[in-house]
Each structure stands twice: as C-alpha cells, then as structure tokens.
Amino acid sequence: MAGIFCFLAPIRKAKGKLSQKMAMQHTIRRSLSIIFGFAAIVFISIIFVTSISKIPPSSISFNYPFLILAFLISPFSTFLNSWLWYQIIILLNEKPKFITVWRANMYATIMRYIPGKIWNYLGKIHWVSKSGISEKKILFSSILELLFIMIGALITSIYSLKIFIPNLSYFYFAGSLFVLLIIIHPKIIELPINFYLRLKRKSTFNLKFNYRQMITLSILYALHWILMGLQFFIFIHSFYPLDPKIIPEFIGINSGSWVIGYLSIIAPGGIGVKEGVFVFALKSFVPVSIAVLCAVLLRIFTIINEVATAGILLCFDRGAWKKLFSKKVT
C-alpha cells in the first residue's frame, strides 16, 4: 500500500500548484482520456475475442525458449532506457546517482498509464529533484529524452514505409535520413523545446549539446528501438512462426505505431491507437486475426514487463518510501 500512496504523492502535490482554471481544464481532459481509454479497451476486447475465434488452433504453437528469451531481454531494455536518460542529464552538467535516475524512470513509466501525459514527467521531477537537481532541468532533460525517443523511432520506422509504398525509391530513405540529420542540429531542435517551455510559462533553454552528441544520442535511441523491436518479434515468434526476413519491417512497425499512438491527444499510453496502426501494418505479413492477437498480446506483454520491473524494484527499495514521505519536493 505504501507504494500505491507513493505513486499518488506527486499527483497530490502537483494538483496543489495548479490554478483553478487549469485544474478544470485538466479535469475535462482527464475525463475524456478515461472515457476514451475505457472505450478503447472495450473495443479491443471485442475485436480480440472475435479474432481468436477465427484463428485455427493448429496455427498456434508455443516455443518456450523464445518466450523466456523475450522476457529476459526486458531488464537490458529498461536499463538502456534509463542509462540514455542518465547520459542526457550528465550532458546538462548534472551528476546524480544512476540508481536515482533508474528508480525515477521505472516508477514514472508506470505513472504514464494514468490519463494525461503529464504524470510521467511529474513522477520524474518528484523523484530526481530529491538529488538536488532543479525541476526545470529535470523537465528539460525529460523533454530532450522524448525528442530523442521520437527521433530514434522515426529513424527505425522509415524502412517500414515500403509496406504501404512497395516501389519506394532508396533515394527516399536517404533523403529522409538527411532531413532527420538537419532536424537534430542543436540550433534547430531547441526551437520546439523552447516553444513548449513558453507554453508552460517556463524560461527558455540554450541547448549546449554539440552536433556530434546529438547524432550519437539519436543513434543510441535508434538502437534501443531495434532492441525492443527484436524483443517483440521474439515474443510473437514464441507462439506464431514469423519469417525472420520481415524483422526490419517489424521493427519499423513497432516504432512507427508507437509514435502515432503517443501523438494521439487523449489516448492514455496510446492505448487503442497504437494497436490499430500496428494491426493495419502487420496484416501485410500475417492474417488479420493473427495481427490483432499480436497487437493485444504485445500490449499485455509490455504492461507486465513494466509493472514487474517496477514491482521488483519496489521490493528492494522500501527505504525510498520513508524518504519520500519525510522530504518535500523541491
């Protein structure tokens, strides 16, 4: 129970800082998110049940070594995700303990399933600020992290566009990568960041990363997407045989559907939207009923991994709860 109250603590404190008007707007958005999320779950459940009835039992065969391997990749994936955010914080001239960043990232990941995309950032601010880093820098690092996640996802999803446009020229892929190289220049990428900060009535930032650091982080985040794509491919392959030749397209489908799901305004955690895009793209390689099954099971697989990782950390991190309630957020 202490862990549950811990997750709710930053929410209660954040609400106290909101003006009455902003609180009303937030309540409306949150209500819409809950309604949309509930409707998406019901709709997906109906489609899921209908699709299962159309799947021949002979087409499903479990391969337990692949299933175990898919779960074993999760700790490495979550570690890499936290380590990359840690590198961004270091480049902002801050040096917190890695365990602090890892803890904040794990707990904040669970909070993103709360309707409203702000809770993930509030969670990070709540826990990392205890190490003496200003809330402004934590927010800035989180925005940078999101941008690099987006860039990495776009890099890995470019190739999957050939699913929809089979005769797509390789000059398109080269041109797309060239455009991304321009976008990640420090002077250009700080424009949307500062625009977001102005909307939040925060002071703007002068991004001091050099171009090489931006490229390096973009490549590392793309590699992280490749790792997650391989993990999901192995998971699906554990119950339905997939052709290894489609791995590049599958990685792109996973990252591209995540981007579209995240950009959806009111879907909590992109639920429903990501699955819809994933099914639409994957049906080019497998029957629609199998694509629906894969999309739903991948969502469940992701939630289980994130909750299990945070739960394991929770079991060995009981001392953090006392610190949480004994110190105020800076």
Quick: pLDDT tens for 174-203: 777 788 888 888 888 778 777 777 776 767
Q: Which of 71, 72, 70, 96 is nearest to 85 (CA)?
A: 96
Q: Which helix (DSSP H) or strand (DSSP E) does residue 108 occupy?
A: helix 98-111
Give the number of other CB atoms < 10 A from CB of residue 180: 16
Q: Which helix (DSSP H) or strand (DSSP E) does residue 71 occupy?
A: helix 64-91
Do residues 296 and 275 lie in contact, with contact meaning Cβ atoms separated by under 8 Å? yes
For 135-175, give the secondary structure using H, E and C: HHHHHHHHHHHHHHHHHHHHHHHCHHHHHCCCCCCHHHHHH
**pTM for this predicted structure:** 0.78
Q: Which helix (DSSP H) or strand (DSSP E) does residue 28 occupy?
A: helix 20-52
pLDDT in tens, the chain (330 residues): 444 445 445 545 544 544 555 555 556 556 655 665 566 566 666 666 666 667 777 778 888 899 999 989 988 888 899 999 999 999 888 888 888 888 888 877 777 666 556 667 777 877 787 778 888 788 888 888 888 999 999 889 887 777 666 676 667 777 777 888 888 888 887 787 777 777 767 677 777 788 888 899 999 999 999 999 999 999 999 988 888 988 988 999 999 888 888 777 655 555 667 888 888 888 888 888 888 888 888 888 888 888 887 777 777 665 554 554 444 443
Structure confidence by residue, pLDDT tens digits, 204-225? 777 778 888 889 999 999 999 9
Angle between helices 64-91 and 135-157 (to 10 degrees): 130
End-to-end CA gap in the chain: 24
Separation CA 11–CA 111 (nearest Å): 10
